[in-house]
Amino acid sequence: MRTASLPVYLVMVQKELLELVRSFKLLWVPLVFVLLGIMQPVSIYYMPLLLESAGNLPDGTVIDIPMPLGSEVLAQTLRQFGTLGMLILALASMGVVSGERNSGAASLILVKPVSTLSYIGSKWTSMLLLTWGSLSAGYLASWYYTGLLIGEVAPGEVLGSLLAYGLWLSFATTMTLLFGTMLRSPAAAAFSSLGLSAALSLLSGLFPKQLGWNPGALSGYAYQLAADGVRNPDKLWWAVSATALLIALALAASAALLGRSPAVD
């Protein structure tokens, strides 16, 4: 396997960013996150009016829904990103490797002086830029409308929860890239990554003491950072360290698997 070269890697990153522009992913993925982020505070604020206008309510009915704290609204926004947002990111990144392998584009690129590590690294970098850009745009939009309609949230809480959740989405995106290298089907890669992410989140929720260090716990820590602070900071740092290590191992495994693939021989 050829060693990675910084100039080649930078050229490959430019190519991937151009592909994001041409496929309009750089437009519609952040737009979806912004819409998800805005919908949460707006729907909560106007929910009593929506229920009153729905009709079929007895005369004199008084709808009194207690308004949540702004920090709770942001935590709910992150939960929206964990369902629809993660699905959107998986769909956007599922074919970046398997699609080029199936079309033969990967073999045409890798016969040139481009290492598999530069190839995988450039795709990972572009998808992380898309992930972090979309998450930041959507979360900051939610923060703005939450402060406007419901209540202010301290910038420190917003930043901490954003970083924790961004690392969790980075892990999920990296797993999609790994499964895209292992599997020929883009759909199989996306749903394998979603299944793994869901399993890790479920296990960390069922066994918080035993598995509070695994990447799946990061979403829960992000909710806590947004709402009322992390109750066990030590396990948060263990989860951050474990996630960073697993991301590095997944990238190395992706490059190694791609180098051994018959599609690029």
Which of 63-77, 120-134, 169-183, 229-243 shows the lowest per-residue confidence on average (mean pLDDT)? 63-77
Which DSSP string corresponds to 206-257?
A: H-HHHHTTSGGGHHHHHHHHHHT--S-HHHHHHHHHHHHHHHHHHHHHHHHH
For the segment 207-215, the average pLDDT, to the nearest whole number, is: 86
* pLDDT over 60 (residue 263): no
Greater model confidence, 264 or 204 = 204
C-alpha span between 179 and 186 (Å, rounded): 9
73-102 residue pLDDT tens: 999 999 889 888 889 998 888 888 877 777
C-alpha span between 233 and 32 (Å, rounded): 32
* pLDDT over 60 (residue 28): yes
Percent of the chain with pLDDT over 70: 91
* pLDDT over 60 (residue 166): yes
* pLDDT over 60 (residue 264): no
Residue 200: how many other CB atoms lie within 10 Å: 21
User: What single letter denotes the amino acid at residue 67?
Assistant: M
